[in-house]
Amino acid sequence: MTNSVKHGIDLLQDPILNKSTAFTETEKQELGLVGLVPDVTETEDLQLQRVLLQLAQKNTDLDRYIYLVNLLDHNETLFYRTVMSDPARFLPIVYDPTIGEACLKFGHIYRHPRGMYLSITRRGKVKEVLRNWPQKDVRFICVTDGGRILGLGDLGANGMGIPIGKLQLYTACAGVPPQYLLPMYLDAGTNNEQYLHDPLYLGMRKPRPSTDELYSFVDEFVEAVQDVFPKCCIHFEDWTGTDAVHLLQRHRDNYCVYNDDVQGTAGIVLAGMINATKIKGTKLSDEKYLFLGAGSAGIGLADLICSAMVQEGLTPKQAQSHVYMFDINGLLEDTRTDLFDFQKPYAHQNPPTRDFVAAIESIKPTTIIGVSTVGGTFNQKVIESMSRINDRPVILALSNPTEHAECTAEQAYTWSNGKAIYAAGVQFPPVHLNGQTFLPGQANNFYVFPAIGMAVFATQAARVTDELFIEGARAVADQVPSELLKQGLLFPLQSNILETEIQTAARIATLVFDSGLARVDRPADMVTFIRRHLYKPEYASEAVSTSKAA
């Protein structure tokens, strides 16, 4: 696909086409750029050196985030060249944990519109609004209503940083071409009083509507997407727990949609659990799981783990009997009257308790999974209790940002005397204890959802099923070498994430074809097929070309 030829300042102001100092002399002459750019022709490598130099002069990761977003606004290719040059360094800057601070201050650091802002006041005209987007072949919309951003709560319009960042990871981690990606904020108001009174807040200054009103608005949006962008997959992100579960249930059987908090989080944690069982020499169905937190992430995790246990031969009810949950009101058990429909399968016959350690002593789980968003809740008593009951307790402290982690890697290894198999939702450094070095993994969704994205993009899948996430989890788990497993690392190294995601996407795509969900012809070689669709952060040989898919 090509745009009409742009010249001069118009060309320099188009971030997709702009090469900045890399235009050749011929291009400068033909495109009216002589005198508008320095009279040199630099390579991308030299431009990258300048970017790295300028980043090194920034004092905080938030400053680096702002710099990189500004770079993206001016030169998309150089932005992705930078991020993909060193993923382990840059992913924590463009996404978690820095994105949390960026969202808290989004209205204050806002510089340039990116994505679409669709207000509930536009009901009845959603199709018309969507048609204002210049790219007519959108394959993914990542959409939030800002209802529950990371572990930070209702951020309203400030949550727009999340879909922007998530879609950048589609490209940076899995090579999905960025021109097909659309970040979107559905503005239905906010109940955050601080933002309602902030003069720089970018959203509607109204409290959130009733559930029926919100769902009616979302229904119109989902149906409008089918008409305006018929090949589009909708990625729901950071909705409140009940909305996340119910909207997924409402649309998943009819449209190509998924919820990353419910299914993506579950996929990467399942990958970690698969590798934890490899370390222990057990199966998923041999384990007993106790969750701290029973919202959308916890339920999504539990459901996917149960689906994987069913694949090992259990019935759904037998699988559910391996999973216990604990929330702000204590252990989920069958006398509780305050449970949502999706929580009830995990409310077993147990004595009521509001003491998490007492629940551990009673249930004797092999694995505890923290999705509480409350930092420090896996305290010394919790870890010591798990270590008394288990030779190798599995401790997954998944809440983020960093200050919300249920415990740190150092705490888990120290309090368990090195027995714990540990991962977190954020990256912690290696821990040296008793002459051993432990490598804590990061259970980050970016191992799974970008690969789902690439597989769906390449196959034009009609729907996204739980089975695709289970296959993605198994593919991620299989790419951790045995020598790193021995040091406790549950996930692949981030430094080679593109290759990891290519292999994962190929496995997922194979299942898409096997399941009859693909809308393209099956290729002879799936990895080659995926590679053919990869975006590469390289300047087009012709400055007017906008297509960077191979």
Q: Active-site residues: which are they?
A: 95, 166
Q: How many CB atoms lie within 10 A of CB 430?
A: 13
Query: What is each CA distance from 28 to 15, 275, 341, 543, in whole angstroms?
Result: 17, 54, 63, 10
With both helix axes pointing from N to C terminus, report the angle between 76-85 and 61-74 in degrees, rounded to the nearest 10.
140
Question: Residue 122 in contact with residue 91, Cβ under 8 Å?
Answer: no
Task: For residue 260, give every residue at least 6 positions away whose Cβ sits within 8 Å of its Cβ, in sequence order, or none.
Answer: 166, 235, 236, 237, 445, 449
Q: How many CB atoms lie within 10 A of CB 495?
A: 12
Longest dimension (CA), the chain: 80
If DSSP codes are grouped into helix, strand and coil, which group holds residue 393?
Answer: coil
Tokens of 525: 């070689």
Tokens of 394: 């599995």
- Of the candidates 206, 178, 201, which has an alpha carbon nearest to the alpha carbon of residue 191? 206
What is the 8-class DSSP label of residue 543? T
Determine the Cα–Cα distance for residues 23 and 42; give it in Å rounded to an integer: 8
Question: In what side-by-side order are the strands of the sheet with 116-119?
Answer: 116-119, 181-187, 140-144, 233-236, 257-259
Q: Give the DSSP H/E element, type plus range, for residue 103.
A: helix 98-104
Q: Phi then psi for 182, rounded to 5 degrees?
A: -130, 110
Determine the Cα–Cα distance for residues 320 and 347; give it in Å rounded to an integer: 9
- Of the candidates 273, 304, 275, 265, which has an alpha carbon nearest to the alpha carbon of residue 445? 265
Determine the Cα–Cα distance for residues 304 and 424; give it in Å rounded to an integer: 19
Question: Residue 311 in contact with residue 467, Cβ under 8 Å?
Answer: no
HEC secondary structure over 214-277: HHHHHHHHHHHHHHHCCCCEEEECCCCHHHHHHHHHHHCCCCCEEEHHHHHHHHHHHHHHHHHH
DSSP character string of 170-214: HHHHH---GGGEEEEEEE-----HHHHT-TT--S-SS----HHHH
- Of the candidates 317, 314, 315, 322, which has an alpha carbon nearest to the alpha carbon of residue 288? 322
